[in-house]
Amino acid sequence: MLDTIKIMGAGFLNAFMPINLLMMIAGTAMGIMIGCLPGLSAAMGVALMLPMTFTMKAETGLIVLGAIYCGAIFGGSISAILIHTPGTPASAATAIEGYQMTLKGQPGKALFTACYSSFWGGLLSCISLYFFAPLLAQLTLKFQSAEYFWLSIFGLTIIAGVSSKSIIKGLMSGALGLLLSTIGLDPVSGLPRFMFGNVYFAEGINTTCALIGLFSMSQVFILAEKKIKARAQATKVTDKMSLSREERKMIRPTIIRSWIIGNLIGILPGAGASIACFLGYNTSRQFSKHKEMFGKGSIEGVAGSEAANNAVTGGSLIPTLTLGIPGESVTAVLMGGLIIQGLAPGPSLFNAENARMTYTFFAGFVLVQFFMLGIGLLGCRGFAQISRLSDAILIPCVTVLCFVGSYAIHKNIMDIVVMLSFGILGYLMRKFDLNTAAVVLALILGPIGEKGLRNALRISRGSPSILFSSVVCWVLIALCIVGILSPIFMNKLEKKAEEEATGVDPDDKKPVDLDIDND
């Protein structure tokens, strides 16, 4: 216990190093900027910045990625409040009350509420990260080859269902990713597989290039296919950016409730910030003493949504870091960053060798919340102007960053070719409701699963019974089944929450009779 506290303390000291602090500031500012641009997403931002972290120390690299993640989730609220366009889906519920406050002449108050609640949501989520992550990681000590195989299957079934309109299509995407992960030298015999005579593919498909292509380059194509329209003028923030003591007291219980909701949603693989924001918003309305304010610019509504979506960040890192199961696209990219640094999720992150790095990252994650509050409050007006940046400017600029980012990995033009190919693949997949996150995760988990399966079969001399030989295996098989079925429940939950919050059925877009005033 004392040792753990000592390592935690050392982590904080390490996080306070000037380079780490500098990277936190840069990462948070970049994240907010990406988040407030309606065409860009948190996953895309993290993927785009991934190559820049290669030469950094592992903890510094992870801090940058974590800062972009947190910043982007908060950044989405700026455009949601000022131009009624959520920068990311995680801020969709914030737009409801936030924009009403702007119309009432209170954009400053709305932005302060969003920033203040995001800060508390994110900060409180670090508590669960500190306490649950090491405990859950210990569980994986019982894992052997067969268990690792099932764990990778579980990770795939979970991600396949996330953000897919069809579970089967999600699973098909995962299987396609698994097939692509077999390109390269066979991990056991070293014989070439599907390399088509090109030695470039000996080490398989470069995961970072695939990540940049699937998340960032594909987004460029999505932007390029749509008619470019001028964005609405951001409302000038003329009122004071603050809340009175009574108002802060009023939103305190809302923040705590939303923190719990967001944290649980984050820990649950398969659910993400977009669900949490609506659940946080709905719960704040249910418990509010001022229900009449909802739909007319309620600060409780903004606080409920923003505290919940930022509370997801810390929670979602728990299954990612301990089990290697990212619950959503952003954490899948973050896990890619972890693996690229030569680290494996699980108990090894908390052993003597890596604990210092892990706890520095955790401490950095705590400090990022403070930077998010500071940068958010000071820079809101500037970020609001950035949110108006036209897609016409974003398209070529992001393309250049995708090119230089993928080239920087091995200084090989082939990496750009792979990135561009995955960009086109990602674009087509998104157009036809397939799941790009499942492909990425399959590329990461595929080799782990294959190694686990083949080692297990080697130990059992080819008998598949070894895959069903332990209680942990059966638990993981049961979780795989739950993983396949959970999207049905999650989709219903998201639809219900969105329907209750907006009064519009997300499926048929017909208004439903609710007590919310949408005028």
Residues that bind another protein (CB under 8 A): 52, 54-55, 166, 168-169, 171-172, 175-176, 178-179, 182, 186, 188-189, 191, 193-194, 220-221, 224-228, 390, 392-393, 395-397, 399-401, 403-404, 407-408, 411, 413, 416-417, 420, 431-432, 434, 450, 453-454
CA distance 89 to 41: 8
| Closer of 202 and 413 to another protein (Cβ) | 413
CA distance 329 to 218: 14
- Find the shortest distance in angstroms from Cβ 222 to another protein: 10
| Closer of 159 and 355 to another protein (Cβ) | 159
- Find the shortest distance in angstroms from Cβ 20 to another protein: 16
Q: Which residue is associated with the tokens 């403070």?
A: 370
- Find the shortest distance in angstroms from Cβ 491 to another protein: 12
- Find the shortest distance in angstroms from Cβ 54 to another protein: 8
| Closer of 353 and 507 to another protein (Cβ) | 507
Instruction: Name the token pair of 345.
Output: 């999720």
Helix (H) or strand (E) holding 11: helix 2-15
The answer to whether residues 91 and 99 touch, using CB atoms and an 8 Å cutoff, is no
The residues, any chain, with a CB within 8 Å of residue 314's CB and separated by 6 or more, are 122, 124, 125, 126, 127, 128, 129, 263, 266, 365
- Find the shortest distance in angstroms from Cβ 191 to another protein: 5
| Closer of 120 and 215 to another protein (Cβ) | 215
| Closer of 97 and 450 to another protein (Cβ) | 450
Instruction: Name the token pair of 439.
Output: 């492909």
| Closer of 52 and 82 to another protein (Cβ) | 52
The residues, any chain, with a CB within 8 Å of residue 300's CB and separated by 6 or more, are 250, 251, 254, 284, 285, 288, 290, 293, 294
Question: How far out from the chain centre does Cα 195 lie?
Answer: 32
Instruction: Name the token pair of 390.
Output: 């036209």
The residues, any chain, with a CB within 8 Å of residue 491's CB and separated by 6 or more, are none
The residues, any chain, with a CB within 8 Å of residue 471's CB and separated by 6 or more, are none
| Closer of 321 and 445 to another protein (Cβ) | 445
- Find the shortest distance in angstroms from Cβ 50 to another protein: 12
CA distance 159 to 179: 16
- Find the shortest distance in angstroms from Cβ 234 to another protein: 17
Q: Residue 364: which of 129, 54, 132, 138 has the closest Cα?
A: 129
Q: How many Cβ atoms sit within 10 Å of the Cβ of residue 519?
A: 5
- Find the shortest distance in angstroms from Cβ 34 to another protein: 14
| Closer of 235 and 399 to another protein (Cβ) | 399
